[in-house]
Amino acid sequence: MDQKVLEILGGLFREYTGQEAELSEVLPHSGSYREYVRLRRENFSAIGTYNADIKENRAFISFSRHFRESGIPVPEILLQDEDPRYYLQEDLGSVTLFDFLNKTRIHEGFSRTIIDEYKKVLSILPSIQVTAGKTIDYSVCYPRAAFDMQSMKWDLSYFKYYFLKLAKIPFDEQLLEDDFSRFTDYLLSADNHFFMYRDFQSRNIMLRDGKVFFIDYQGGRRGALQYDLASLLYDGKADIPQRVRDELFEFYLDQLEKILPVDRYEFIRYFKGFVLIRIMQSMGAYGFRGFYEKKEHFLKSIPYALDNLEAILQKLDLPVELPELVSVLNQVAHSSFLRSIGQKEHNLTVRITSFSYKKGIPQDPSGNGGGFVFDCRAIHNPGKYPEFKTLTGKDAEVQHFLEDKSEMPGFLQAIKVLIDQSVKKYIARGFSHLSVNFGCTGGQHRSVFAAEILARHLKNNFPVNVILVHRELEQG
C-alpha cells in the first residue's frame, strides 16, 4: 500500500479516536481493486479503506447507512474523508463464512454446525432484499440501477470473451448470441422489484460473536430474488452438497413467505436460470483474473464451478429453447482441460471409479496397479424401488435414501479412515497415483454415491488431484 494512502487513513483514525494508531496491518486483496488496512489502538480497531472508484464508494456508503437504519448487520461507516476515495469503517474481524466452513468441514464434514450458520444468513436475506429494498436509494447504484438487459449482456459477453474464448471452447457466435437474447428475455420476465446484493457469497459474510454480518454489497441494484440465493447456494469453492442446497433452498422460501407471497413452482423455474447466469458471470471473472491477469487462485475456483454447472444442467427445464448455449455449457462442464486447472501443483492423483461388477473391475490406467476395491452390494439397494429406477447416486432422492435408510454412512466412515491413511502416506512419500473403486450390481446408485462422497471428502481435505469416473453412467 502506498505510503500516502496509509498516512491519510491513519489521519482518519486519529480524527475519529483522538489518538494515533499503534499498529497497522495491510489486508490482502480479494477480488477487487480496493485497498484495506486494519488500524489498531489498545482495544479498538477500524478498517481504513481506499478505493479510487468514487461512484462505487458512494453506493457502498449510502447502502451501509440505509441497511444499519433498517436493522441489517453491516459495518458502520465511522468517518469519510473530504477526498471521497478514503473512508473508515467498523472492523468486523477476520472470519468469513467461507473460513468457518473450511475449518469446520475438516473435522465434521458439511455438518449441522455449518448448516445452522447458513440458516442465520438466509433468515436475514429476505429482509435485505424485500424490507430494506423497498426504501433504498437506487439512484446511487453503480454501474447500473437494475440487473437489466444491459447488465446481463455485460455478464454474458464477459463469459464469452474472457472464459469461452480463452478456454478454447468452440461455439457458433451468432447462434450463441441468439440464445443469449432468448435467455435474457426469459430472466427479465421474473419479478425484479427487489434489492439484489449482486455478490452474495460466503466470502462476503463475516462471523463475529456468534452473529453474521454482511459486506461488499456496493454492486447492489434492483433485481430478482433468485439471483442472490443462487450466488450463495452455488458459491464455487464452498462446494455445498446438493442435499444441503435443497434444505437451504426450502428454508429460504419459508423465511421469504413470512413477508411475501411466493409461487414456489415459478420461483424454482426462474431460480435455475439465475443459477446459470451467475455461474457464467463467475466463470467470466475467473477467466479474466486467471487466464488474462494470470492470478492463479482464481483458476483454482474453476473445477468447483464446473461441478456446479454440471449439477444444474442435469435438471435444467427452462421453458425456453437454448440449444447452442446448452451445448456450449455441456462442453465446458466436461472439459478435461478445465478440470485440470488449479490442480497442477499437486503430485498425487487419486482416481475414483464407480462400476458394475457385471462388467468387471476397472483397470488402473496409471500402470501402477493395486489400490482399493470396495464392494457396495451389501448396502440396501435403492435400485429395487420403482421411484429410483431411472435415477442415479448423483440425484438428491437417491442420496437421501442412502443416507437415511441404508448402511452407507457407517460403510463410508470406515472407508474414509483407510483412504485418509493411504493418502497421507502417499503424499509424504511422493507417490503419484492411487486408485479407489466402488462396485455395485449396476454401477448406478450405491457405487456412484460412494464415489461422489469420497471425491468430495478428498478434495476438501487433501492437496490432491481427484479424477472421478462413473464408468457405467459415462458409457450409457
**Position 64: which residue type?**
S
Q: Which phi-psi region, left, alpha or beta, contains residue 280 (left: φ > 0; alpha: ψ -120 to 50)?
A: alpha
pLDDT of amino acid 345: 52
Residue 235 to residue 248: CA distance in whole angstroms: 13
pLDDT of amino acid 460: 82
Per-residue model confidence as pLDDT tens digits over 396-442: 899 999 999 999 999 999 999 999 999 988 887 778 899 999 999 99
Residue 445 to residue 390: CA distance in whole angstroms: 10
Per-residue model confidence as pLDDT tens digits over 237-258: 898 988 899 999 999 999 999 9
Cell of 194: 427487489
Secondary structure letter of residue 345 according to DSSP: T
Q: What share of the chain is helix, strand, coil (3-state, %, to 5)?
A: 55, 15, 30
Angle among Cα 328, 333, 336 to the nearest 5 degrees reads: 110
Cβ neighbours around 387 below 10 Å, total: 10
**Position 182: which residue type?**
R
Residue 144 to residue 221: CA distance in whole angstroms: 7
pLDDT of amino acid 451: 96
Grid cell 426450502 — which residue?
250
Secondary structure letter of residue 129 according to DSSP: I
Q: Which residues of the chain have pLDDT under 50?
A: 344
Grid cell 461388477 — which residue?
357
pLDDT of amino acid 370: 75
**3-class DSSP state of 462:** coil
pLDDT of amino acid 31: 64
**Position 304: which residue type?**
Y
> What is the Cα 115 distance to its own chain's centre?
15
Residue 2 to residue 446: CA distance in whole angstroms: 57
Long-range pairs for 116-120: beta carbons < 8 A, 24 or more residues apart: 117/207, 117/212, 118/232, 118/244, 118/248, 119/248, 119/251, 120/211, 120/212
Task: Please answer whether residues 67 and 60 qualify as being in contact, where contact means their C-beta atoms are separated by less than 8 angstroms.
Answer: no
The set of residues, in sequence order, having a beta carbon less than 8 Å from that of 116 and lying 6+ positions away, is none
Residue 84 to residue 347: CA distance in whole angstroms: 48
Backbone angles phi, psi at 16, to 5 degrees: -75, -40
Any idea of the CA torsion for 399, 400, 403, 405, to the nearest 10 degrees? -120
Look up the pTM and report it: 0.76
The set of residues, in sequence order, having a beta carbon less than 8 Å from that of 179 and lying 6+ positions away, is 322, 323, 324, 325
Residue 80 to residue 9: CA distance in whole angstroms: 10
The set of residues, in sequence order, having a beta carbon less than 8 Å from that of 155 and lying 6+ positions away, is 277, 280, 281, 284
pLDDT of amino acid 344: 46
User: Quick one: which H or E segment has residue 337?
Assistant: helix 336-340
Secondary structure letter of residue 444 according to DSSP: S
Burial of 363 (0-12, 13-18, 19+ CB in 10 A): exposed
Secondary structure letter of residue 292 according to DSSP: I
Strands 221-223 and 205-208: unpaired
User: Quick one: which H or E segment has residue 50?
Assistant: strand 44-50
pLDDT of amino acid 461: 82
The set of residues, in sequence order, having a beta carbon less than 8 Å from that of 358 and lying 6+ positions away, is 441, 442, 443
**3-class DSSP state of 468:** strand
What is the Cβ-side half-sphere exposure of residue 105, based on CA atoms within 13 angstroms?
A: 21
DSSP secondary structure, 253-288, as one string:
HHHHTTTS---HHHHHHHHHHHHHHHHHHHHHHHII
Q: Please name each of the domains of the chain with its CATH number.
A: 3-90 (3.30.200.20), 97-340 (3.90.1200.10), 349-474 (no CATH)
Per-residue model confidence as pLDDT tens digits over 17-55: 999 999 899 998 766 789 999 999 988 999 999 999 999
